[in-house]
Amino acid sequence: MSETIVSLRNVTKRYVRGKQSVHVLEGLTLDIPKGDFVALMGPSGSGKTTLLNLIGGLDTPTSGEITVAGQRLDQLSSSGLSHWRANHVGFVFQFYNLMPMLSAQKNVELPLLLTKLSASQRKANALAALTLVGIADRAKHKPNELSGGQAQRVAIARALVADPTLLVCDEPTGDLDRKSADDVLNLLQVLNREHGKSIVMVTHDPKAAEFAGRQLHMDKGALLEAAGGPGAVAA
């Protein structure tokens, strides 16, 4: 049986807006095996981004248990969650979030500033990550000198540089043309299949979801079904 990297048990999430309580997730239970590549799909407001944020430790549940990489996230303090995220999760967002005045290499080094690595070690690790995503030749370029696809590869290198347990991707191809999107998705597929990275990705794009091993469909805070793609793994 595969080791489970993400486990949710009866998770609820509610937000209070004025006098109204908004129910986003209701009693959600889910297991994701280590090494899986999962696409979370669903209409706007279905709860998929909220679920992604809970898995990545960016938010906490109203109730229920969340265990990721062996750690109960629902029991951690804010500072505990910050420390856990730094050690276990690489984030990839739709709009890259690169620092405009820094080179690609310096952007990738940013997560390593929280470590005890020397400057030369940080540089070496950043260049290794850029090489892994196929963009080492752009190491000295700033974000405005990169295409959208290249910028997203830099963002993925930054997410990978600290060797995270889990990659969490929120619409990683939402701002890219089809060819650039497919290039990025092929890269994520390689990271999953050849380097064993566990990936959870939110996407609205059915073509993007086809690159994942599994598709989980959400609506109104609940999981509707699981559809297998290439190399699907049952939870």
For residue 38, tell me if it sits in a domain: yes
Q: % helix / strand / coil in the chain, to the nearest 5?
A: 35, 30, 35
- pLDDT tier at 7, thresholds 50, 70, 90: very high
* pLDDT over threshold 70, residue 232: no
* pLDDT over threshold 70, residue 1: no
For residue 113, tell me if it sits in a domain: yes
For residue 88, tell me if it sits in a domain: yes
Q: 53: domain range? A: 4-228
Q: Is the model more confident about 2 or about 27?
A: 27
Residues in the chain, overall count: 235
pTM value is 0.87
Q: Which residues pair with 164 in a beta bridge?
A: none
* pLDDT over threshold 80, residue 234: no
Look up the CATH number of the domain holding residue 153.
Answer: 3.40.50.300
* Residue type at 76 in one-letter notation: L
Angstrom CA distances, 14 to 8, 73, 178, 223, stand at 16, 17, 36, 17
Give the chain's domain count. Answer: 1
Q: What confidence tens digit (pLDDT) does each residue in 47-91 have?
A: 899 999 999 999 999 999 999 999 999 999 999 998 899 889 999
* pLDDT over threshold 70, residue 144: yes
- pLDDT tier at 225, thresholds 50, 70, 90: low
Rounded Cα–Cα distance for residues 105 and 116 (Å): 18
Count of CB atoms situated within 10 Å of the CB of 140: 10
For residue 43, tell me if it sits in a domain: yes
79 Cβ neighbours under 8 A, 6+ residues apart: none
Question: For the sheet containing 71-72, what is the strand order?
Answer: 20-33, 4-17, 63-68, 71-72
For residue 234, tell me if it sits in a domain: no
**What is the radius of gyration, based on Cα positions, of the chain?**
18
For residue 235, tell me if it sits in a domain: no
- CA angle (53 as vertex; 175, 182 as ends), nearest 5: 30
227 Cβ neighbours under 8 A, 6+ residues apart: 214, 215, 217
Tokens of 23: 């129910």
DSSP state of 111: G
For residue 233, tell me if it sits in a domain: no
Q: What confidence tens digit (pLDDT) does each residue in 123-137 have?
A: 999 999 999 999 899
Measured between alpha carbons, how far apart are the two ends of the chain, in Å? 10
Tokens of 168: 């969490």
- CA 166, 203, 153, 95 torsion: positive or negative? negative
- Mean per-residue pLDDT over the chain, rounded: 88
